A and B are shown apart, each in its own frame.
Chain A
Amino acid sequence: MTIFLFTIRRCFRNIMNIILLCVLPFIVILMPNEEWTLLPLGFQLYGVVLFFAAARITSIIMEDRTKGVLMRIGVAPVTHLQYLWQNLLAYSLILIVQIVVVIAGGILYGHDLINPFLLLVVYVLFALTAIGFSLAWFSLFRHKETAFVVLMSSIMLMTMAGGMIWSVELMPELLQRLAMLFPTYWLAESLIIVATQADPTELAVPFVVLLLFTAAFLVIGSKRRLS
């Protein structure tokens, strides 16, 4: 588990990572309750924070690849699978802890989270999808800076198109259907189901879709690339 522990430490070495992982969650908690949102505003936007945080910490794998660490690991007595799953476990654990802290903090702060447990599951599943997406994204690029900049723009587009910043119903019919092909839509959909206290079985489809997205992204991202 050396790689796992080391990855956790590496995630907190960067000032930007510390802000994303430790400071932003508190801003999320402290954001005010708005009348026009189903959930407190911070929790409505928390998905975007999660997506950025996942992209930021997953870039460690890309850094390893560009700096030749993966090449050295290739000759070490560690398989690529071990390296990959220990890294992914570390990222997931950090994000899950963050989600737990945010939800617990939200309850303590006095927000009405309606069903905190279901909310936790929704965020955890989305965090996994975000990690998978970032992993797949970085596996397609050669330069970290390019990959990161394009990824940031794509995340913004996806959050806007997916209905995390405004309601999907405001968009044209075709775009509404197109939004369904993004994982962000399914996060927004799940949040609506949780917030409106609908039948929890309705969450099955968004959950399955999020899991399928995760699986597809992991299949792409787990391909071993050394350069």
Chain B
Amino acid sequence: MEPKKYEVWTPVTCTFIWRSLAILLLCIFWLFSDDSEAGVLLLLFLATISLMRWRIEMPAWTTIFDQVGCFIIAIFWPGAWFALAVPIFETMLKGKPWFILLSFLFLFMESQYSLVLLTVLCSAAVTGMAIYNWSQDVEAYKKEADRERRQRFELETFKRELLLANVQTAKVAELAERNRISKSLHDHVGHELTGAILALQAFEQLWKEDDPQAEQVFLKAKERFSESSRHLRETVRNMKPIHAMGLESFQGIGEQFNKCPVDWEIHGDTSKIPVYLWGILEPCLKEALTNVAHHTEATQVKVSLDISESIIRLSIFNDGVLRSANGNGIGLRNLRQRAESVGGSLSASVLRERFQLVCVLPLENDEKRLSET
């Protein structure tokens, strides 16, 4: 990622610029003052120690060396008092202002009350403090950003796991339902039918022998048949969901949409689609139609659903896209994650004010699914 223009101005860069400027200005100041060797020594010492601070992290107490250096050289070159700006800046930069008390003590003892000197030293202190606070802020923002990034990552992982659990629950529920139906058929309908068949066989025997009990047995068999028929009806009624599911509900979403006409193209056997995949296809259609209503001036929407042996392909196409859409909105991102959680994919593309959303989901064979579970 390219750094933005203002990102070049970091606390580190500004500190570097301040140090370089300070040494340069001191050099010029020394050049035009009437001192010989002592000033060079101090300048070189300050330059070296500043370079070391640039290279390695040095604790705040090391500024005492700079200050002592300035006091000693000040005996030979009074301009050295101005050089105190360097250690004062460094002390404030570390956020430990008490180390500059030494400087002010010496200034007081040597009666250095020049307004220019005090202004220079104060401005160095203020600049150092400003850069220190700035770097603290930057550090805090970095930590905050890191924490948010981690939380977002955790949430996304959690969401992916939930979606996976959702699919698995749907599969397990379907199997449990099958189990219930098979149990119900076996326990009630099967039992009654077997009884009825046995009664019919007994009736056949009695009827051949002209036994007067034959009629009674026949009535019993009839009663058992009606009982099994009743059980079968009840089982079927229990199986039937209260809400409409599958294609009916899917097309219902389109019918409710009244902004523009929706054209349907459905190929293949929709009964092959398991319930957990309807749970993805339906939100896809809803999201697409919502987007059409909010962001477009569409005149037509085409929905095509193809069901082949191994995949389901849902394509929703519309024209009249108003604003640039990149297919990365929250809604589409959620849908993409849901599609990916079942091994599918979702793609969105915009071409000449036309928008197309394609969702491809893998279709598992019943035999394969049963063998897996």
Which B-chain residue is minimally distant from A183 (CB atoms)? Answer: B44
- A212 close to B55 (CB less than 8 A): no
Bound complex: CA of A220 vs CA of B30, how far in Å? 23
Which residues of chain B in 31-59 are interfacial with respect to chain A, using CB atoms and an 8 Å cutoff? 31, 36-37, 40-41, 43-45, 47-48, 51-52, 54-55
Main secondary structure of the interface of A (DSSP, over half): helix
Interface residues in B, total, Cβ within 8 A: 16
Closest Cβ–Cβ distance, residue B146 to chain A (whole Å): 27
Closest Cβ–Cβ distance, residue B340 to chain A (whole Å): 38
Known contacts A174-B31, A181-B27, A212-B48, A219 near B55 by CB under 8 Å: yes
Which B-chain residue is minimally distant from A177 (CB atoms)? Answer: B31
Tell me which residues across on chain B come within 8 A of A94, comparing CB atoms.
none
Bound complex: CA of A181 vs CA of B48, how far in Å? 13
A 186-227 to B, binary, CB cutoff 8 A, 1 in contact else 0: 000000000000000000010011001101100110110000
- B44 close to A216 (CB less than 8 A): yes
Partner of B48, one of A177, A205, A219, A223: A219
- A178 close to B48 (CB less than 8 A): no
Closest Cβ–Cβ distance, residue A177 to chain B (whole Å): 5
- B48 close to A209 (CB less than 8 A): no
Residue of A174, A178, A213, A215 most packed against chain B (CB within 10 A) = A215
Tell me which residues across on chain A come within 8 A of B40, comparing CB atoms.
180-181, 209
Interface residues in A, total, Cβ within 8 A: 16
Tell me which residues across on chain A come within 8 A of B30, comparing CB atoms.
177
Bound complex: CA of A44 vs CA of B46, how far in Å? 31
- 30 A-B contacts (beta carbon < 8 Å): A174-B31, A177-B30, A177-B31, A180-B36, A180-B37, A180-B40, A181-B27, A181-B40, A181-B43, A205-B37, A205-B41, A208-B41, A209-B37, A209-B40, A209-B41, A209-B44, A212-B41, A212-B44, A212-B45, A212-B48, A213-B44, A215-B48, A216-B44, A216-B51, A219-B51, A219-B52, A219-B54, A220-B51, A222-B55, A223-B55
9 closest Cβ pairs, A-B complex = A212-B44, A219-B51, A216-B48, A215-B48, A180-B40, A205-B37, A212-B48, A177-B31, A216-B47
Closest Cβ–Cβ distance, residue B67 to chain A (whole Å): 18
Bound complex: CA of A212 vs CA of B27, how far in Å? 16
Bound complex: CA of A39 vs CA of B268, how far in Å? 106
Bound complex: CA of A219 vs CA of B44, how far in Å? 13
Further pairs besides A213-B44, A219-B55, A223-B55: 15, Cβ < 8 Å:
A174-B31, A178-B31, A180-B36, A181-B27, A208-B41, A209-B40, A209-B44, A212-B41, A212-B44, A212-B45, A216-B47, A216-B48, A216-B51, A219-B48, A222-B55
